[in-house]
Structure 1
Amino acid sequence: MTIEQAYAAAETVTRTEARNFYYGIRLLPVRKRHGLCALYALARRIDDIGDGNAPLEHKRAALAKVRKQLSDIDSATDPVLVAVAETARRFPVPLEAFDELIDGVEMDLADTSYETFDDLRVYCRCVAGSIGRLCLSIFGNGTDPRAPLFADQLGIALQQTNILRDIREDLLLGRIYLPREELADFGVRLQLDDAGTLHDPDARLASYIEFAAQRAQHWYELGLRLLPELDHRSAACCAAMSGIYHHLLVRIQQNPTVVYERRMSLPAHEKGRVALVALTRAVLPG
């Protein structure tokens, strides 16, 4: 297998599976696009292990196998791992971030409820802050030593958006990511009605979602401090990827009930518009 074939395999995974992220990734120059696709493809593989239908012990074994492969990645023959290994030679990839991602997926296997937001933040940092830091290794850090922190914070913002978008779907899987302490404060009991819709007769859940969305907005403000540290094309990629999720968050904040019946998403033309605006602003700064 050639390096080109390995990168092609990783890009196929990304183009097929990264319904939101690929709108941003395709804005990168070829070398960076290949690298980010490789990292995404492995992150997707790890995530899919956790979300799959295999027995719990099989999932744990599969995650342990990935950990072992990462520890000796230069001898890998799997196309995605070959692409990741080559990317780590071309860029300062913090491969330990994949271990953090695996830690987060293992948290899902052990428990899917959190008492406080601080507890949830630890999980978000593992499963999404790690991705932010991996992306930063491809983008380049800029001059601010806080850039890894900004990338971490932006990942946490995106994960909070995911959690709010997927309340119903996660509940169907027996998962509740919203902190128990906060749900109790708002008098919310998560449950579905006979039609399979989130039950919220007193609009208490809607009030909580508005509160949680406002907090996520703050995390976007923190994380988007990263953009000025990136070159124009990397900033465009980052802005497009985060912009699509931020658009979702704004819609949820404006109408929390939009997540009650189905998983919401932006239409393709709107995602394309977000990517185009991000690229235009990068090419024509200010």
Structure 2
Amino acid sequence: MLLEKNISLQCKNMMKKGSSSFYQAFKWLPRKEREAVYVIYSFCRMIDDSVDEPENSPYTLDELEYHLNKLEEADGHFIWSALRWVFDEFSLKKEPYHIQISGQRLDFVQKSYPSMTELEDYCYRVAGSVGEMLIPILHPNPNQSLIDAGISLGKGMQIVNIIRDIGADQRLGRRYVPLELMKQYGYSEADWHDQVVNQALKEVISALTDQADQWFFEGLRYIDEYPNKSAFAMKLAAGYYREIIAVVKENDYQVFTERAVVTSQRKSHLLLQLTK
């Protein structure tokens, strides 16, 4: 059974508006799987917006969790019937969604990260959990190795998000770049406050990029075990995210005042490379 057409369109529009890279990568999936990704992305977007843009969110984080717990009777928004559909069609579990919510809840109480260990936990909660949600959509019978790889891919993407959004997060009073990493390369908290772009910051970002690349490698390790269209979508999504780092470098690591954006032309070039 396919998702109701008008609900599918609303979820699709949420994804196109929220992440053109994700939309462009996953639109190649078969219809049922594509619509499931739209739904999952839309719900995750609502979770994120409830924290970062509460004035524009129809629900608080607690309300989203409450309705998720009572999903069978939840109403008042198209997302609930959409979630019921995707949970039923793909026999999904709620645990990754609760993990996602727990990660977003951290943003209320933790504004900076002392260590890579703590940052990895955050990346797992807010993005690795998304990989955990999507793998049962992208693979008909995933084992634990595939799920773990999906978690790694999500964590890698979150590191890229953190690098890209350094300036925006700083304006919100947040610093996800671990203090231990800053100290390791001689980049001080005063430098951070003053938005200094120097060799030390470049080394910090390079270290974060190396970690992201490791997680991308782990995330795509079993890519040949996926259906062709799923494998293509995952490789394209990873390629789009990795291209963000290329733009950061082209901007000479000015991450405080410039947001690295991958143009449509660059995305088209990546698409052509993968289809050769």
Q: Check whether the contact 1:32–1:139 (CA below 8 A) recurs between aligned residues.
A: yes
After superposition, residues 15-94 of structure 1 pair within 5 angstroms as 15-54=16-55, 62-77=60-75, 78-94=77-93
Q: Name the CA distance, whole Å, in 2 between partners of 1:21 and 1:199.
A: 31
Corresponding residue for 1:215?
Answer: 211
DSSP 3-state at the match of 1:257: coil
Question: After superposition, what is the alpha-carbon deviation per residue over 1:193-214, rounded to whole angstroms, capped at 9, x for unaligned?
Answer: 5xxxx313x5211121112212
Q: Check whether the contact 2:153–2:218 (CA below 8 A) recurs between aligned residues.
A: yes
Corresponding residue for 2:259?
Answer: 263
State the TM-score, normalized to the length of structure 1: 0.87
Corresponding residue for 1:131?
Answer: 130
Q: Name the CA distance, whole Å, in 2 between partners of 1:31 and 1:277.
A: 26
Structure 2 portions without partners, runs of 5+:
none
Deviation at 1:98, TM superposition (A): 1.2
Corresponding residue for 1:239?
Answer: 235
Q: Name the CA distance, whole Å, in 1 between partners of 2:69 and 2:271.
A: 36
Corresponding residue for 1:230?
Answer: 226
State the TM-score, normalized to the length of structure 2: 0.90
Q: Which has the higher contact order (CA 8 A, sep 6+)?
A: 1
Q: Name the CA distance, whole Å, in 2 between partners of 1:15 and 1:94.
A: 25
Structure 1 portions without partners, runs of 5+:
282-286
Residues 83/110 of structure 1: CA separation in 2 closer, same or farther (3 Å cut) = same
Q: Does 1:199 align with 2:196?
A: yes
DSSP 3-state at the match of 1:114: coil
Residues 264/253 of structure 1: CA separation in 2 closer, same or farther (3 Å cut) = closer
Q: Check whether the contact 2:28–2:233 (CA below 8 A) recurs between aligned residues.
A: yes
Q: Name the CA distance, whole Å, in 2 between partners of 1:73 and 1:108.
A: 25
Q: Check whether the contact 1:142–1:229 (CA below 8 A) recurs between aligned residues.
A: no
Residues 18/96 of structure 1: CA separation in 2 closer, same or farther (3 Å cut) = same
Corresponding residue for 2:4?
Answer: 3
Q: Name the CA distance, whole Å, in 2 between partners of 1:215 and 1:18.
A: 23
RMSD of equivalent CA atoms: 2.2
Question: After superposition, what is the alpha-carbon deviation per residue over 1:148-190, rounded to whole angstroms, capped at 9, x for unaligned?
Answer: 0000000000000111111122112110001111212222124
Q: Check whether the contact 2:168–2:256 (CA below 8 A) recurs between aligned residues.
A: no
Q: Name the CA distance, whole Å, in 2 between partners of 1:26 and 1:147.
A: 21
Q: Check whether the contact 2:14–2:42 (CA below 8 A) recurs between aligned residues.
A: yes
Q: Which moved more, 1:104-113 or 1:75-84?
A: 75-84
Deviation at 1:21, TM superposition (A): 0.2
Q: Name the CA distance, whole Å, in 1 between partners of 2:226 and 2:129.
A: 18
The count of aligned residue pairs is 270
Q: Give the counterpart letter for 1:16 in structure 2.
A: K
After superposition, residues 121-160 of structure 1 pair within 5 angstroms as 121-140=120-139, 145-160=144-159
Q: Name the CA distance, whole Å, in 1 between partners of 2:64 and 2:142.
A: 33
Residues 254/8 of structure 1: CA separation in 2 closer, same or farther (3 Å cut) = closer
Q: Check whether the contact 2:136–2:142 (CA below 8 A) recurs between aligned residues.
A: no
Q: Name the CA distance, whole Å, in 2 between partners of 1:226 and 1:62.
A: 37
Q: Name the CA distance, whole Å, in 1 between partners of 2:218 and 2:171.
A: 32
Corresponding residue for 1:284?
Answer: none
Q: Check whether the contact 1:141–1:147 (CA below 8 A) recurs between aligned residues.
A: no
Deviation at 1:144, TM superposition (A): 5.0
